[in-house]
């Protein structure tokens, strides 16, 4: 196992400090610049721009020019997409599932990989690959906070970023969970508001999301990667608070 380079840890720490990561789907890259300004101005200084549409790659490049915004690529399905996203300016790579080839390429590029994981087997594979955090996806479909309680318990040295079905009514139980660094969501950047160029409403939703994130308190500490195959692997991991929702 090869630990992540220091630069990826810095990005993970920044995402954890923000606590809420907007997940953006853009149909037209012309919307990227005003959207970046709306998010940064509202205090949500990060975004996962998905590659679900042809506009995604160009949008990453445009939004990455906003100096107050930490931009990553989402829906990355293979190493080539990861490489192109990083060339465009992405500083973290998010995948719907776990792909060791994508993780390996991200490590070569010194960029943070956040693969999706839904089962203990996938989480264990991510840990074996040296990751310190994974995307728990699709969170609500999998059973929400109670499912996260169960699947995270055997992995006290990993942290999670639940994504999928999260919105203000169910946000706080996730952020209160001792294994959760941040959550991903699209409720503050709905596709129809972006298409309608309603930047005022997006700014309002983003400000509210930033307020809820701030009220949630600090994230749990990010532990170092577990050392595999020796005594260090058995060292006690960093403690984390018990979930208030469990």
Q: For this structure, is 48 an active site residue?
A: yes
- Judge contact between 188 and 23, C-beta under 8 A: no
Provide the CA 81 distance to its chain's centre, in angstroms. Answer: 17
Strand partners, 113: 93
Burial class of 122 by CB neighbour count within 10 A (0 to 12, 13 to 18, 19+): middle
C-alpha to C-alpha distance for 32 and 26, rounded to whole angstroms: 8
C-alpha to C-alpha distance for 200 and 187, rounded to whole angstroms: 15
**Element holding 92 (H helix, E strand):** strand 92-95
Catalytic residue from among 135, 140, 215, 241: 135
**Element holding 34 (H helix, E strand):** helix 32-42
Q: For this structure, is 208 an active site residue?
A: no
Nearest Cα to Cα of residue 87 among 105, 104, 103:
105
Catalytic residue from among 48, 66, 140, 208: 48
Name the residues annotated as catalytic.
Answer: 48, 135
């Amino acid at each position: 196992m090869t630990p992540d380079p220091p630069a990826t840890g810095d990005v993970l720490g920044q995402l954890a400090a923000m606590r809420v990561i907007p997940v953006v789907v853009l149909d037209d890259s012309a919307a990227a610049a005003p959207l970046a300004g709306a998010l940064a101005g509202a205090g949500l200084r990060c975004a996962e721009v998905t590659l679900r549409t042809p506009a995604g790659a160009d949008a990453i490049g445009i939004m990455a020019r906003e100096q107050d915004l930490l931009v990553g690529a989402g829906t990355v399905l293979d190493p080539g997409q990861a490489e192109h996203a990083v060339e465009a300016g992405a500083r973290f790579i998010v995948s719907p599932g776990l792909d060791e080839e994508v993780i390996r390429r991200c490590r070569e590029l010194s960029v943070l990989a956040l693969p999706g994981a839904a089962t203990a087997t996938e989480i264990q594979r991510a840990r074996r690959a040296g990751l310190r955090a994974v995307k728990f996806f699709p969170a609500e479909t999998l059973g929400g906070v109670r499912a996260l309680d169960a699947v995270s318990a055997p992995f006290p040295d990993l942290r999670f970023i639940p994504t999928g079905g999260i919105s203000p009514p169910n946000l706080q139980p996730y952020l209160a969970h001792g294994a959760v660094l941040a959550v991903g969501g699209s409720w503050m950047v709905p596709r129809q508001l972006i298409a309608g160029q309603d930047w005022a409403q997006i700014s309002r939703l983003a400000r509210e999301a930033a307020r809820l994130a701030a009220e949630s308190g600090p994230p749990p500490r990010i532990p170092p990667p577990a050392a595999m195959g020796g005594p260090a692997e058995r060292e006690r991991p960093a403690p984390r608070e018990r979930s208030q929702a469990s």
